[in-house]
Chains A and B, each alone.
Chain A
């Protein structure tokens, strides 16, 4: 989003500068755009900006919804960062999830997109089938399916038994494996970044490959020297979107662990911990502080990505 967001803001400015005066004269007559913006402005102030400020205030209070918030200064933050084992556990789980699910998902997406970009027939059919899990994957139904196929007598273990004679563990109730079933679920949904990669691959001029082939560059070299550098804006975009989505992931962990984040906190995603604090124990102040820490993490990640992008993202213009 961000890549195009920048472009969009730029072109908006350029447009304003070059519009014919006829347009500006006319728009004066037809009245202010604020009328059209009214619903959005109400939403912006009432549901976004106002709540952001209030949430920041709440993060310095103790608040259980019943009595009014009580100012406690930095207590919430201090406790989260120094004396909260569940916070540490949820950070570990979330970072492991992001660190493994995002690169693997994008690697699959790129590999399949490149295979589909080879001018094969029936492309729309393949693309549609690969996309289907992405579209359905966020549903509770799929989380339920996952929970069942990775259970002790589920599909995966039956297949392992019939194919290799291995009797597998109960993947979802073993703290060593539970998180990995969620990583697999996330990779399974590689379809939408794949579509974005496919659109990016189409933009690479074919004559570059032809020139490279004439010069005797191998396929492998062509991938590293042409495909990947020219695709970096798309990679950048996908990394940002998928990472933020991974940080915000909630439903699969909730369903697979029955809302508990277990076994032994092994699927306690950050969002799930925040939900428990807010709507399980009604510690709204504490949960607000958790939300602000999440915002800080996501903002830091985004800022670092943008700052680093000038060293590795290759823009044509």
Chain B
């Protein structure tokens, strides 16, 4: 079964099921919808409660289970934003720079690698491909300490390089795999015709493959952005200077220092940290869901 078939099947309601649904008595449909709406509400209740907590008066946070604040007050956002020695503006900027660089690195390096595996023939291709698949399973803890020693010796600790450079070396095999699958779906006739006209491999990659692969490149870009934005472990071990902190490190420091007294500010910054991810969710939901349905992304 091809990737496309899976995606199409996953996204379109089957006609048989629609028929089945039409035969169903109204009250059963209503029951299913009621159950689903209830479940959805329970699922997102904690998120809604956090948003409410971030705008309600401080003394109400731990006395109210409801979602409607007695008064809306954005003071928590102002307090939270400047709650640490360094403002959250710096943390957001740092996170944004790191995530953007990682996106560029991943898209370029993984697509180059995937193009070689999907389209070029060279000695040992299957061997390297198999090795690439094996690295998918490797827990990062095994390479963690030697990588730290390496970056320490290079003088890269306390810079963003350890977080960014690996992406330019296609260290995320997930995306290579994702792209190999997509590239294989592109008709070979296109690049064969281009080759007959004397087109080089580089030009085929750049002028034919990449433009035809925008969906998979976008999927890789969005997942890279979200995962890097969320990443806590990498920044935790490599960044020590607060001016270098990402949003996630900032939040953690907040919980350690002022968090116990200023829950409003803590929630306000937590909500703010989720906004970029939520925007991706809102606008690129289809790509995210297709990405999961086709390759089984872990999140």
On A, residues with C-beta under 8 Å from B are: 1-2, 4-5, 8-9, 11-13, 15-16, 19, 22-24, 26-27, 29-37, 39-44, 46-48, 50-52, 54-55, 58, 65, 112, 115-123, 126-142, 144-149, 153-155, 158-159, 162, 188-189, 192, 195-196, 198-199, 202-203, 206, 237-238, 241-242, 244-245, 247-248, 250-251, 254-255, 258, 271, 274-275, 278-279, 284, 287-288, 290-292, 294-295, 298, 302
Contacts and interface: CB of A to CB of B under 8 A. Distances in A.
Nearest to A126: B36
Contact of B274 (A46, A121, A139): A139
Q: Across the A-B interface, give the 3 residue pairs with the lowest CB-CB distance, nearest first.
A: A43-B169, A119-B17, A33-B120
B9 A12 contact: no
Given A115-B36, A154-B62, A258-B256, 12 more contacts: A39-B109, A115-B32, A119-B14, A128-B281, A128-B285, A133-B47, A135-B226, A141-B251, A142-B270, A145-B267, A250-B233, A291-B141
B99 interface: no
A9 B127 CA distance: 10
Contacts of A12: 117, 125-126, 129
Given A22-B192, A43-B166, A144 B10 contact: no
Interface stretch (B68-76, B81-89, B289-297): B289-297
Contacts of A29: 195
A274 B148 CA distance: 14
Interface string B254-269: 0110010001001101
B293 A51 contact: no
Nearest to A234: B296
Given A139-B248, A192-B297, A39 B271 contact: no
B111 to A, nearest CB: 9
10 contacts: A31-B201, A32-B120, A35-B201, A40-B176, A52-B142, A115-B32, A123-B13, A133-B44, A142-B270, A199-B293
Interface of B: 1, 6-7, 9-10, 13-14, 16-21, 29, 32-33, 35-36, 39-40, 43-44, 46-47, 49-50, 62-65, 109, 112-113, 115-117, 120-122, 125-126, 128-133, 135-150, 152, 166, 168-171, 176-177, 180-181, 184, 188, 192, 195-196, 200-201, 204-205, 226-227, 230, 232-233, 237, 248, 251-252, 255-256, 259, 263, 266-267, 269-271, 273-274, 277-278, 281, 285, 288-289, 292-299
A120 B252 CA distance: 42
Given A23-B188, A295-B139, A155 B146 contact: no
Contacts of B292: 131, 192, 195-196
A241 B292 CA distance: 12
Contacts of A255: 232, 252, 255
A287 B113 contact: no
Contacts of A198: 10, 293
A36 B115 contact: yes
A118 B196 CA distance: 50
Contact of A195 (B112, B144, B201, B293): B293
B177 A139 contact: no
A37 B131 CA distance: 13
B133 A9 contact: yes
A292 B141 CA distance: 8
Contacts of B138: 48, 52, 295
Contacts of B296: 1, 4, 196, 237-238, 241
Q: Interface centre among B131, B181, B201, by most A CB within 10 Å? A: B201
A92 B120 CA distance: 48
B141 A274 contact: yes
A251 B36 CA distance: 30
B121 A27 contact: yes
B40 A126 contact: yes
Contacts of A40: 109, 112-113, 132, 169-170, 176
Given A44-B131, A141-B270, A195 B289 contact: yes
A158 B192 CA distance: 67
A123 B200 CA distance: 46
A139 B17 contact: no
A291 B145 contact: yes
A311 B266 CA distance: 51
A254 B135 contact: no
A116 B44 CA distance: 18
A9 B188 contact: no
A70 B107 CA distance: 41
A146 to B, nearest CB: 8
B147 to A, nearest CB: 5
A19 B120 CA distance: 11
Given A8-B181, A136-B274, A206 B14 contact: yes
A47 B169 contact: yes
Given A16-B121, A118-B17, A158 B65 contact: yes
Contacts of A140: 230, 232, 248, 251-252, 270, 273
Contacts of A203: 1, 6, 9
Given A51-B147, A115-B32, A144-B270, A155 B293 contact: no
Nearest to A297: B139
A65 B149 contact: yes
Contact of A16 (B39, B126, B170): B126
A283 to B, nearest CB: 10
Contacts of A146: 46
Nearest to B288: A135
B102 to A, nearest CB: 14
Contacts of B149: 54, 65, 284
